[in-house]
Structure 1
Amino acid sequence: MAVEEKPGVKSSSSIVPCFLFVELVIMAGTVLLAYYFEYTDTFPVHIQGFFCYDKSFSKPYPGPESASKIPPVLIYSLVTAIPTLMILAGELCTFFIKAEGVREKTIVTADCCYFNPLLRRIIRFLGVYAFGLFTTTIFANAGQVVIGNQTPHFLSACRPNYTALGCQTTLQYITERRACTGNPLVVMAARKSFPSKDTALSVYAAAFTAMYVTLVFKTQGTRLTKPTISLTLLCLAALVGVVRVAEYRNHWADVLAGFFTGGAIAVFLVTCVINNFRWLQPGAPSPRPQRPESLLGMPMVTLPCVESPLEKLRGDLRSLRSHDRQPYRFPAAPDVLIQSRSISSEV
């Protein structure tokens, strides 16, 4: 016997199983992979060679990451706190300001568990954001491990013995793995430059939050609030990249690659995974599938129209009837027999 759905309640029996056995498993795997990339040597860094006295790698050593003007701890705190607070504030305001008729239906699972739409949206958006944050970390760390590009201060951290290596000209290329005499941990960190992980995380957080502010916040009476917040977040993310280059911790190419990585992941998650933060309106008709059209609104392929011989024959008979006032019929046989009566017989 089917269970009758109450008004304002939508039945679903797949939310909890999918959340427990699919989404949590994927999230746990993503977190573990990010941990192995960041804090273990499971994935060894590719060791590239270098030219003797290469000026692009001879910048002074800026010190450990914690000595930076924007240390990683500050970046990780901001990319976690600012989007979380924005999403919480936006969802609370949207839920209590929205009219009752356009709220999303409450989800009921197995007729026993009820999920408030506000709680469901918060968990969905924060979960997708956290997944994207760890995914950005994985992409950045994977690029650094696979490519092994050196930082601008690589030679200062490596401290190669040019005499023992026989460096006489700047065109001599050194490929020996034991060429560096500096601290192995510092040297290994100096081989992870492309792409810039801090820049990728900053841009991802800024782009995700800016799209949320633009698509969800409703600011009546002012047109500059949302652009101001969005541009401020994006400028802070760009400032992280500028500081990384100014302190000789990354090249411009590393920063640009970080911009692209973080921005692409944010745009993909917002547009393809959470559907631009839209509320599901109950009773709204599903959009009809439209024909594929070009960007200019014209059909992509235009086929020639061929007139049917039968339609042409019917048109001729109609025109004949309009002039002679004679009835006609279409028998099953191919030949068309027309029975006509004269005007005198009709009289």
Structure 2
Amino acid sequence: MFSRSPVTTMLYFQLVIMAGTVMLAYYFEYTDTFDVHVQGFFCYDSSYTKPYLGPEESSAVPPALLYTLVAGIPTLVIIVTECVLFLLQYTSKDLDSREKTIVTGDCCYLNPLVRRTFRFLGVYAFGLFTTDIFVNAGQVVTGNLAPHFLTVCKPNYTALGCQHALRFISHQEACTGNQEDILRARKTFPSKEAALSVYAALYLAMYITYTVKAKGTRLAKPVLSLGLMCLAFLTGLNRVAEYRNHWSDVIAGFVVGVAIATFLVVCVVHNFKGKLLFSESPPQDHADSAPMANHPRVESPLQKYIASQNHIAFAEVT
């Protein structure tokens, strides 16, 4: 009777979770399955009368550019870094007599480089879709209004009886503008652009910090990490400057992105650390069965020098 190994079962389970996450993100993003909460407003509320600078595609950071950067840059950096570390480890050790593949199922073997790379990228992709789900859920539930909401809403103040600014309008039919612009203006909290950008920047910054251990990078790593975080901050700042989000929307997006990235790095991939990639157990001779006191170990100066130079470690997440 055929039975799957625990590793194969766990792999299938993770694929099911990933597929469910992608489908949920798709329903939030491209369907009207979840109705957006209709939040009311006060007549002539100055908080929502900022100018409308056009669709998202006309922004200084359009969605196509943002999604390309948050998906492409971390993927490229992780693949290149893993390949370099693997080659350094491979060429610095005598691996001819050691196992260079790991078992992932009953009949499948993967190179450790492939497994590490797919694991880090898989967790990163899962975090991207999770961030998108959290953000979309918050936008649907709150229905928070954009700073330019009344500009695209174009309410008929006379018909609504807005003789004074304290009158509260709560019904959806109050708007006469373009329905797509109005719906988009009701989905601003938290800011999706801020959440995705800070998630990508923090995940990549922590990856570089924990994985790259080469000499001479003590200053380069924090500079690169802070540069990534600065780009994420500028993305959120641009959302406020273009009147597409409030400060509270951007801050909430930052919180969501930072929380998800920190949780995945610390609790899922364990700071990108783990056991050594290749087993370094030395072969045991029959003489090893004798008491250690009778066979004291003496290292030659050459052996000590080689051991001091062999400092490159390639870690695998378990």
Extract unaligned runs of 5+ from structure 2: 281-318
**What is the distance in 2 between the residues matched to 1:165 and 1:104?**
76
Q: Deviations over 1:287-312 (max 9, x none)?
A: xxxxxxxxxxxxxxxxxxxxxxxxxx
* Alignment-derived partner of residue 7 in structure 2: 15
Equivalent of residue 159 in structure 1, options 149, 154, 159? 154
Cα gap change, 1:24/1:152 in structure 2, threshold over 3 Å: closer, same or farther? Answer: same
How many angstroms apart in 2 are the aligned matches of 1:108 and 1:194?
45
Q: Name the CA distance, whole Å, in 2 between partners of 1:62 and 1:42.
A: 29
Q: Alignment partner of 2:103: what SS? A: strand
Query: 8 Å contact 1:104–1:279 — kept in the other structure?
Result: no
Distance 1:184 1:109 in 2: 51
Residues 1:125 and 2:127 aligned together = no
Tell me what 2:254 maps to: 259
CA distance in 1, matches of 2:51, 2:27: 30
CA RMSD of aligned residues (A): 2.1
Number of residue pairs aligned between Structure 1 and Structure 2:
273
Answer yes or no: is 1:70 the counterpart of 2:65: no
Are the counterparts in 2 of residues 158 and 182 from structure 1 also a CA contact under 8 Å?
yes
Query: Deviation string for 1:230-269 (max 9, x for gaps)?
Result: 0111011001000000000000000000000001100000
- In the TM superposition, 1:294-309 aligns within 5 A as none
Letter in 1 for 2:39: Q
Map 1:235-246; keep pairs closer than 5 Å.
235-246=230-241
SS in 1 for 2:236: helix
Between structure 1 and structure 2, the one with the greater Rg is 1
CA contact (8 A) 1:104 1:280 kept: no
Q: 1:162 to 1:118 in 2, by over 3 A?
A: same
Counterparts in 2 of 1:145-294, with a 5 A limit? 145-281=140-276
Cα separation, 2, equivalents of 1:41 and 1:254: 22
- C-alpha separation in 2, matches of 1:14 and 1:105: 22
Match among 79, 87, 92 for residue 88 of structure 1: 79
Give the C-alpha shift of residue 177 in structure 1: 1.6
Residue of structure 2 in register with 1:288 after alignment: none
Deviations 1:60-112 (A, max 9, x none): 11110001010010000000011001101111111122354899974224564
**Pairing partner for 2:70 from 59, 62, 79:** 79
Q: Which has the higher contact order (CA 8 A, sep 6+)?
A: 2
Q: Which residue of 1 aligns with 2:52?
A: 61
Shift of 1:220: 0.8
The alpha-carbon distance between structure 1 residues 273 and 104, as it changes in their structure 2 partners (threshold 3 A), is farther
Letter in structure 2 aligned against 1:255:
V
Letter of the 1:87 partner, please give it: I
Output the TM-score relative to the length of structure 1.
Answer: 0.75
Q: Secondary structure at the match of 2:224?
A: helix
Matched, 1:139 2:134: yes
Correspondence for 1:343 = none
More helix by share: 2
Does the Cα contact within 8 Å between 2:8 and 2:106 map onto a contact in 1? no
List per-residue Cα deviations over 1:103-154 (Å, max 9, x = no partner). 9974224564222111000110110000000000000000000000000000
Letter in 2 for 1:198: E
Cα distance in structure 2, aligned partners of 1:152 and 1:199: 16
In structure 1, what residue type is equivalent to 2:151?
Answer: S
TM-score (norm 2): 0.82
- 1:43 counterpart (27, 31, 34): 34
User: How far off its partner does 1:59 sit?
Assistant: 0.2
Alpha-carbon distance between aligned partners in 2 of 1:270 and 1:87, rounded to the nearest angstrom: 14
Q: Single out whichever of 150-159 and 222-231 deviates more from structure 2.
A: 222-231
* 2:17 matched residue in structure 1: 26
Q: Distance in 2 between matches of 1:231 and 1:23?
A: 32
Distance 2:158 2:94 in 1: 79
Cα distance in 2 for residues equivalent to 1:90 and 1:104 = 22
Going from structure 1 to structure 2, the CA distance change for 1:177 and 1:230 (only over 3 Å counts) comes to same
SS in 1 for 2:35: coil
2:286 paired residue number = none
Structure 1 CA distance for aligned equivalents of residues 157 and 163 of structure 2: 8
2: CA distance between counterparts of 1:283 and 1:119?
17
Please give the alpha-carbon distance, in whole angstroms, between the structure 1 residues aligned to 2:195 and 2:106.
43
Secondary structure, in 3 states, of the residue corresponding to 1:178?
Answer: helix
- Quickly say closer, same or farther: Cα 1:74–1:57, change in 2 above 3 A: same
CA distance in 1, matches of 2:266, 2:274: 14
Cα offsets for 1:15-65 (capped at 9, x unmatched): 223212x11111111111001101110000000100000000000111100
